[in-house]
Structure 1
Amino acid sequence: MEQNILFMLNPWMDSDGQGPYYCPGCGVVEGFFAYSMAVKATIDIVYVDFQRPRQKVVEKLGLENQECPVLVLGRDLEPPENAKKSFSTGRYFIDDPVGICDFLGKTFDGIRPHP
């Protein structure tokens, strides 16, 4: 079974020296993991730098899909309704932070966001 891959952003400084900054969407997913630590161990989490191109994300989803956080679904999983499909690679992914948390909670019997 191919593991899901979650791409998250490292904190960064802008080129003009402003920051440090963090990605608010990534913060939502990190918060989910604080409640569901066991779920965190079931997926591959890859932290990438803010600057583009984000080569590791591009390899999985193409140049057009570099937003983070993004959960690239394992090839053997049935994609949920909210999944998108990369035109470049054919891979399914979820790029909405709450959608990522909901999918992981459902899939791995973890906590879920309140509807």
Structure 2
Amino acid sequence: MTTRRDMLFIIRAPFEDPALEGTWFCRDCATMEGMLLANPHWATHIEVKRLPFPRPRHDIIELLGEENQSMPALVLGDVTKAPEDAKRYGARGFLTDPKAIARYLVSQYGGAGPHP
């Protein structure tokens, strides 16, 4: 299997939700943005894709299926490095929990992780 770069999908902020009044941001995706600010060196190791809020989210569906299009999502470039808590879709491994994503990225690329 060819190793690819890890790919982090997050919702582009701010966004509007047609079901609600107002302008919003995704709390978990904002956590990911903060994590990226604290670890700028990760930009040389992972690909970050900021997608619009509305579904369907075709870029994620293509990799993880329609049922797994929530964000944030880290698609692992090398499934052999997948932690035990990684989810699977076909031959791909991925993480959706912000703390799990942070722990994985720190273990692979170093840097600051979430305070316990």
Instruction: Specify if TM > 0.5.
Output: yes
Deviation string 1:28-75 (CA, Å, 9 cap, x unpaired) is 111111211111331001111111110000000001101100000013
- Is the Cα contact below 8 Å between 1:9 and 1:68 reproduced in 2? yes
Structure with higher helix content: 2
The CA deviation at 1:16 is 5.6
Q: Which residue of 2 aligns with 1:37?
A: 40
> How far apart, in 2, do the equivalents of 1:15 and 1:76 lie?
36
Alignment of 1:15 onto 2:18: yes
Percentage of identical aligned residues: 34
- 1:17/1:94 CA distance change after superposition, 3 Å: closer
- Aligned Cα RMSD in Å? 1.6
Alignment of 1:72 onto 2:72: no
The unaligned stretches of length 5 or more in structure 1 are: none
- Is the Cα contact below 8 Å between 2:7 and 2:46 reproduced in 1? yes
> How far apart, in 1, do the equivalents of 2:80 and 2:24 lie?
34
Alignment of 1:98 onto 2:99: yes
- Is the Cα contact below 8 Å between 2:11 and 2:52 reproduced in 1? yes
When the two structures are aligned, how many residues end up with a matched partner? 113
The unaligned stretches of length 5 or more in structure 2 are: none
Q: TM-score, normalised by structure 2?
A: 0.88
Q: TM-score, normalised by structure 1?
A: 0.89
- 1:18/1:39 CA distance change after superposition, 3 Å: same
- Is the Cα contact below 8 Å between 1:105 and 1:112 reproduced in 2? yes
The CA deviation at 1:10 is 1.2
Structure with higher strand content: 2
SS of 1:34's equivalent in the other structure is helix
